[in-house]
Structure 1
């Protein structure tokens, strides 16, 4: 099958606040940290919301010990790319269920932070048709897409207003990182070194994931993904997104 050759459009820049919603610690670092670094450099506010604390992610560490470790690594990782606000919703790692509870939690975060841009990770069944996606990624990605609308409807989850979270209908786009049908991109060059350092903060996870030296692994992975998009972004390595306007 012929690879797509259509050029990717630059991501919109007429926004001030983004909310990134994913399932696990490290999802954003594998997906789009170089773009986040670029955005925060430009003075934009980015908040991370994670559905779980990643407690089921390391086979050799029991969940009660793993959760605080991965939370610390995620906060350190976010700080590398200029993100200080990191929140955890407390859903159970590995068995997140798509449904009204998850939608409500994400809608509450959207109402609280009032973003114009919501970022999430590939919610489809596969990664480019080559590998099966995890249930957590599918559930959280779909719920984030739905919650972008839920947040603006006062009659959906009216209990949120009772908690002081007024409806927010200001989400203009949802950007899906890791999509196999991207439409837009951010130049990865300016933020790539910080993206590598950000992923490297998940050292405990990475050390059980690969036998490769952690820094070499992080650099090779992120550089390869960014370079793969270059042909569709004027020759520049890029972080790609499928941008869904609302």
Structure 2
């Protein structure tokens, strides 16, 4: 697909980003978050797990606190101070009522107009199989955005119902519909991803900074082909 992508809506003040693991938002989306917070918008992060099963050389009891610290530092780089963790078990998140309830309660607490999550299709670009955690969380986010506004679903869980979610934006989607110009904030995105140093050093033998820069410059450059030549982060936008 080569059709130009329109910019994301900008008539909102509060967003909640919900993903499965520390680092999920930093593989591209954080540069957009940096732009939004610089414009004075409020963005909070909700992590369904602490990523405790994500580093093969570090046991979960140690990896969880380590990755939580890395995520908080990473969020701070792009102007996000509110970071919550739900403590579902990394690697075996189950789509179902419990997950929907937890996410709906979080949406009722934060009362966002925009909810952000990560690509939950079966594959990345038809080549790489997506993880069960990403698939479970992304699907549950879409459902919870509706659950949060229905007073008869999960009554008593969290504050009063919130039916103010106007969009759910899926980062990294194979078929994006919108984009955000990150020409001025790409460097923050690189530094934000680099805060996940322990994870990255276990993932690759490449220099961490070179790895982060190469990855993010690559994806934003590819998106620029459909966004007037401007480095961009893309989303698939679902309206409600």
Task: Determine if the alignment matches structure 1 residue 148 to structure 2 residue 142.
Answer: no
Task: Determine if the alignment matches structure 1 residue 175 to structure 2 residue 169.
Answer: yes
Measure the CA separation in 1 of the matches of 2:16 and 2:53. 24
Q: State which of 17, 23, 26 in structure 2 corresponds to 1:29.
A: 26
State the Cα deviation string for residues 66-114 of structure 1 (Å, max 9, x = none).
1000000000000000000000000000000000100110101100000
TM-score calculated relative to the size of structure 2: 0.99
Task: Show structure 1 runs of 4+ deviating over 6 A.
Answer: none
Q: State which of 94, 97, 100 in structure 2 corresponds to 1:100.
A: 97
1:39 match: 36
Measure the CA separation in 1 of the matches of 2:28 and 2:35. 14
Measure the CA separation in 1 of the matches of 2:156 and 2:11. 32
Q: State which of 192, 204, 211 in structure 1 corresponds to 2:186.
A: 192
TM-score calculated relative to the size of structure 1: 0.97
1:214 match: 208
Measure the CA separation in 1 of the matches of 2:153 and 2:175. 30
1:80 match: 77
Q: State which of 34, 53, 58 in structure 2 corresponds to 1:56.
A: 53
Contact kept, 8 Å, 1:31 with 1:121, in 2: the verdict is: no
Number of equivalent positions: 240
Q: State which of 135, 140, 151 in structure 2 corresponds to 1:138.
A: 135
Measure the CA separation in 1 of the matches of 2:151 and 2:123. 34
Q: Give matches, 1:153-168, under 5 Å.
A: 153-160=150-157, 163=158, 165-168=159-162
Point out where structure 2 has 5 or more consecutive residues left out of the alignment.
none
The Cα RMSD (Å) is: 0.6
Shift of 1:117: 0.1
Measure the CA separation in 2 of the matches of 1:126 and 1:108. 29
